[in-house]
Chains A and B, each alone.
Chain A
Amino acid sequence: MRGYVLSLLVVFLFYALLMFTYNVVAIKHVYVGAISNVFFAEKAAYLVDDVSADIRPVLGLDTPANSTLLIFAENFTIVRSTFFSNYVQFLANYSAVANANMSASYSDPLNITFSNGFVYRTNFATNRTDFFNASGGAAAVAAYEANITTNETRSGLSLPAWTANGTFVRVNYIDSTNPNKNFVESGFVNPNILNTMDIKFGAGQSVLLRFGLIEGRPNSYRMEQVAIFTATSHALTVNRTTKDAIYAYYNVPLNVTIAGARFDGSVPAN
C-alpha cells in the first residue's frame, strides 16, 4: 500500500514540477516574444531608413534639431529617371539578400511633402524645382537661400526689385568653369508679387530664380532652367518663421514586409 501512495506522491510531484516549469517557460516566452516583436519592428524601420538614405544622394533633406531651417540638396548630375528605374529593380534583388519583401514605385515629379503643408517639388521633365505651401496661404518662410552650381559660364544677370522689407533672399551662384562669374546677391522681396532673378547663358537660355507669388501661392520659390541644362547642383535653405516639429516624406510608396513586422507608406525624408 505504501508503495502505491509513494507512486502517487511522485506523480503529483512530477505534475507540480511540470506545471511550475511550464509557467516559468511560458513567462519567458512572453518576455522573449515582446523583445522579438521590438526587434522585428526595429528591423523594418531600419530597412525603411535604408531606402530613405539611398534616395538622399538624389534629393536630400536636412532638418537640424531645434532649428527653423530646412536644407535641401539636389544633385543634378545623377540621371534621376534612370536612377529610380534601376533602384526599383535593385530593391527586388535586395529583398532576397535582406531577407525581406521590399517594393517601391516612383513617378515624376519627385516631391518632399511636409506635415505642415510645405512641398518641395523637383520636376525632371520640365527642369523646374518649386517650394510652396500646398495647404493654402502664404508659406510661413522668413528667408530663402539658394546655392546653385553650373557647368557653363553665364553671360548676364538680371536682379529682382529689392524692397525695404518682406522675405529675405540670398543667392550664391558658383560658375564652375569661370570663377570670375561667381556672385552672391541678397535683399528683401515682396512675397505677394512675382520677383525674378534671371541668370542668362545665351539667346533664350536662362536659369530663372523666382520668389513670391507663383501660380497663386504667395511667398513661394522656383528654380527653372529654360532651354539649357547647366545646373549640376542646387541647394536651398528655407528659414521658417516657426520652430514647430515637422515631418517630411518622399512621394515614393514603399512596402517592407518581414516576419513579424510590416511597413506600408511613403518613404520618410527626415
Chain B
Amino acid sequence: MRVEDKVHGEYDWIENWVECMIKKDAGKRGFVASLDAVFSLLLAILFVTMILSVIRDVPDLPSFQLQREAMDVLTVLEHRDSFYSPDTTLAETSDSICARLELHAGAGGTIAAQFVKPGCPLSDSEERMSWRSFFNGSQMMTAKLVVWVKDNPLTGD
C-alpha cells in the first residue's frame, strides 16, 4: 500500500462521520453552525483574556525611571548639602519633570519643611517617590522627593 493511500485511509473515517452527521441531522445544521460560532467566540474571548493577563503583569518602566530620577536628585542634594535650599538643584531637573521635596524629622516623622519645583503644582495623581536620610548637625532627618511627569497626556497636567 502506498503512503498516500494509507494516509487517505486513516482520515476516511472523519469524512464519513461528518457526512453521516450532516445526513442524519440535516435539519439541525443551523444549530451546529451556531454552536460553531459560539465555540469560536469563546476561543476569541479566551485568547484575548490570556493576552491581557500576560500584558498586565509587565512592570511599569516609566515608574522605574521616575524613581531613578528622584534618587539621583536626592543624592545630589545631600552631596551639595542643600536640602534646605533645593531650588537650584530642582531647577536643574528635566523640564518635563515636576518635583516636591519634603523634609521629615526622624524616619518619616512630621514635615519640617516643604519645597516645590518652580512652575509645578503641589501634587499629581501619577506621583512616584524616593527617600533619603541625612544628618542635619543635630538629628537624623529624612528627605522625601516626589516626582511626576509634568506634561502627562493621560492626566492632562
Measured CB to CB, the residues of A under 8 A from B are: 1, 3-4, 7, 10-11, 14, 17-18, 21-22, 25, 28-29, 32, 35-36, 39, 42-43, 46, 49-51, 53-54, 57, 83, 86-87, 90, 93-94, 96-98
Contact = CB atoms under 8 A, between A and B. Distances in A.
Interface in B11-30: 15, 18-19, 22
Contact of B58 (A22, A28, A49): A28
A17 B44 CA distance: 11
Contact of B68 (A7, A29, A39): A39
A25 B107 contact: no
A21 B142 contact: no
Contact of B108 (A14, A36, A97): A97
B13 to A, nearest CB: 14
Given A7-B36, A11-B43, A93 B79 contact: no
B140 A32 contact: no
B125 to A, nearest CB: 20
A39 B51 contact: no
Interface in B110-157: 130-135, 137, 140, 142
A201 B66 CA distance: 56
The 6 closest A-B pairs by CB, nearest first: A93-B107, A97-B108, A94-B107, A90-B140, A39-B64, A25-B54
Contacts of A29: 57-58
A10 B40 contact: yes
B135 A57 contact: yes
B144 to A, nearest CB: 8
A226 to B, nearest CB: 28
B58 A25 contact: yes
B82 to A, nearest CB: 13
A86 B133 CA distance: 13
Contact of B134 (A25, A39, A53): A53
A39 B64 CA distance: 7
The secondary-structure label for the interface of chain B is helix
Contacts of A3: 33, 36
B47 A97 contact: no
23 contacts: A3-B33, A4-B18, A11-B43, A17-B47, A25-B54, A28-B58, A32-B59, A36-B64, A50-B133, A51-B133, A53-B79, A53-B134, A54-B133, A54-B135, A57-B137, A90-B140, A93-B107, A94-B107, A94-B108, A94-B133, A97-B108, A97-B131, A98-B131
B51 A21 contact: yes
A35 B61 contact: yes
A39 B85 CA distance: 28
A96 B133 CA distance: 12
A36 B106 contact: no
Contact of A22 (B39, B54, B108): B54
Given A7-B40, A46-B75, 20 more contacts: A4-B18, A7-B36, A11-B43, A14-B44, A18-B50, A29-B57, A39-B68, A43-B67, A43-B71, A46-B130, A50-B78, A50-B132, A54-B134, A57-B135, A83-B135, A90-B107, A94-B131, A96-B108, A97-B131, A97-B142
Contact of A18 (B15, B47, B58, B67): B47
B55 interface: yes
Contact of B140 (A22, A25, A54, A96): A54
Interface in B79-100: 79
B137 to A, nearest CB: 7
A25 B59 CA distance: 12
A4 B33 CA distance: 9
A34 to B, nearest CB: 11
Contact of B61 (A17, A32, A51, A90): A32
